[in-house]
């Protein structure tokens, strides 16, 4: 006589528990959705960071290329000149010879005008003297710098302003010619603005 009364009681218990089961399932589904959204945001952030890093690397590579010219085992770094409204224009740079034989710079040409290699050797008493050539010894660095050795255009075709880029072609005996970009620094600069940077 008591069995028929048990079924309605069990049915009431099941119906009362059902909303909690549905609520728990919905909460679990929302948690999974939030986790997927966080994962997508993280992946997008990582991708953007990688793109930014690649862009910075490309910019750095372009920046490096602008300060470096190569001809075989020769490397020409940080070519620069001072801003000037008239002559002479003097061009400076670092030349690295990574060969086991000397390299000889025989001439420099530029669209600014006639260019010559000038130095102040000891035997000339320190006075500027036109050089027929410049020898860069094997496995050594040579700095063309103010008051020492440089390339000179006595009467430039036009003024040079800070930020301009001129071009000079350097010819080395038995090696060929290399085009070099010359950055124009301020009128009172004593070195390239990026001197000391590794390339």
Rounded to 5 degrees, φ, ψ at 150 are -160, 170
Identify whether 199 is part of a domain: no
Domain final residue pick, 66, 89, 120: 66
Q: Are both 130 and 149 inside the same structural domain?
A: yes
Q: Is the bond into 2 cis (omega within 30 degrees of 0)?
A: no
- In this model, does residue 107 exceed pLDDT 70? yes
Per-residue pLDDT tens digits for 80-103: 999 999 989 999 999 999 999 999
Q: Does 191 map to a domain?
A: no
Domain annotation covers residue 194: no
Q: Give pLDDT, residue 196.
A: 56
Do 100 and 146 fall into the same domain?
yes
Same domain, 77 and 157: yes
| pLDDT at 16 > cutoff 60 | no
Render pLDDT for 166-191 as a digit per residue (tens, 0 to 9).
999 999 999 999 999 999 999 999 98
Are residues 20 and 102 both part of a single domain? no
Q: In the Cβ-directed half-sphere of 50, how many Cα atoms lie within 13 Å? A: 6
State the average pLDDT over residues 188-196.
79
Same domain, residue pair 15 and 103? no
- Please state whether the predicted TM-score (pTM) of the whole model is above 0.75: no
Same domain, 19 and 9: yes
CA-wise closest residue to 170 among 88, 92, 102, 58: 92
Span 134-143, average pLDDT: 97
Q: Which of 37, 66, 95 is the last residue of a domain?
A: 66
* Same domain flag for 106 and 165: yes
Same domain, 54 and 73: no
Q: Which two tokens stand for residue 115?
A: 């260019």
Are 130 and 116 within 8 A, CB to CB?
A: yes
Which CATH number does the domain housing residue 169 bear?
Answer: 2.60.40.1890
Q: Is the pLDDT of residue 199 over 90?
A: no
- The whole-angstrom separation of Cα 20 and Cα 13 is 12
Contacting residues for 143 by C-beta, under 8 A, at least 6 apart = 92, 93, 94, 95
- In order, the DSSP letters of 50-76 are HHHHHHHHHHHHHHHHHTEEEETTEEE
Higher pLDDT, 184 or 124: 184
d(CA 105, CA 177): 10
**Could you give the maximum distance between any two Cα atoms of the chain, in Å?**
132
Three-state secondary structure call for residue 2: coil
Q: What is the domain extent for residue 32? A: 1-66
Total domains in the fold of the chain: 2
Give the residue among 183, 16, 198, 199 at the shortest CA–CA distance from 83: 183
More confident residue, 127 or 12: 127
| Whether residues 54 and 95 fall in one domain | no
Residues 13 and 94 grouped into a single domain: no
């Amino acid at each position: 006589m008591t069995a028929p009364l048990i079924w309605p009681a069990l049915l009431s218990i099941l119906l009362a528990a059902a909303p909690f089961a549905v609520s728990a399932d919905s909460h679990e589904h929302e948690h999974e959705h939030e986790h997927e959204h966080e994962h997508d945001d993280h992946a997008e952030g990582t991708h953007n960071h990688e793109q930014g890093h690649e862009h910075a690397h490309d910019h750095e590579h372009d920046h490096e290329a602008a300060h470096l010219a190569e001809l075989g085992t020769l490397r020409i770094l940080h070519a620069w000149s001072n801003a000037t409204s008239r002559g002479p224009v003097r061009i400076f740079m670092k030349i690295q010879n990574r060969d086991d034989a000397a390299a000889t710079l025989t001439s420099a040409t530029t669209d600014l005008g006639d260019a010559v290699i000038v130095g102040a050797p000891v035997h000339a008493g320190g006075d500027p003297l036109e050089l027929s050539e410049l020898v860069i010894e094997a496995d050594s660095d040579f700095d063309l710098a103010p008051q020492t050795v440089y390339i000179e255009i006595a009467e430039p075709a036009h003024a040079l302003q800070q930020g301009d880029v001129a071009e000079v072609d350097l010819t080395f005996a038995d090696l060929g010619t290399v085009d070099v970009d010359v950055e124009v620094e301020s009128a009172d600069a004593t070195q390239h603005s990026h001197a000391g940077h590794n390339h």
